[in-house]
């Protein structure tokens, strides 16, 4: 069964304290791994797509990496405005996105 597991469920950081979020997956025929940001009461906001092991993508303080079994979202020197829930999702060979439960990040000033 296709599955996505994210850890930790919640993460509290001080402003400037770098860390990483983990996304482990099992999927039949990975056709892409996606990271989204979700603010309370809002829709997921697209961040990155990764397609193959070894691939990396960067956007401001965020960097996403992919291996054959997991992906990491590295946050460098986070700011309070980075506080949100970060969702990982995989695209399987039937065309649907399968989401993890998310990591809720809180960055304190």
Partner 1 sequence: EPEVTQTPSHQVTQMGQEVILRCVPISNHLYFYWYRQILGQKVEFLVSFYNNEISEKSEIFDDQFSVERPDGSNFTLKIRSTKLEDSAMYFCASSANVFGQFFGPGTRLTVL
Interacting residues with partner 1 (CB under 8 A) = 31-32, 34, 36, 41-46, 49, 87, 89, 91, 94-102
- The least distance separating partner 1 from the CB of residue 3, rounded to whole angstroms, comes to 11
Residue 69: CB atoms within 10 Å = 10
28 DSSP 8-state letter = S
Residues 6+ apart with CB under 8 A from 34: 46, 47, 48, 49, 50, 88, 89, 90, 91, 97
Closer of 18 and 26 to partner 1 (Cβ): 26
Nearer to partner 1, 16 or 46 (CB): 46
- CA separation for the pair 21, 85 (Å, rounded): 11
Least distance between partner 1 and beta carbon 96 (Å): 4
Shortest distance, CB of residue 51 to partner 1, whole angstroms?
A: 8
Residue number, 44 or 78, with CB nearest to partner 1: 44
């Amino acid at each position: 069964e296709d599955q996505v597991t994210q850890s930790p469920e919640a993460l509290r950081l001080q402003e400037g304290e770098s860390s990483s979020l983990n996304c482990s997956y099992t999927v039949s025929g990975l056709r892409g791994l996606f990271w989204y940001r979700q603010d309370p009461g809002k829709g997921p906001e697209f961040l990155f797509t990764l397609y193959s092991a070894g691939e990396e993508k960067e956007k401001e303080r965020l960097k996403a990496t992919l291996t054959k079994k997991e992906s990491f979202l590295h946050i460098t020197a986070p700011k309070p405005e980075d506080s949100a829930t970060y969702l990982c999702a995989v695209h399987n060979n039937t065309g649907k996105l399968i989401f993890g439960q998310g990591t809720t990040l809180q960055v304190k000033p």
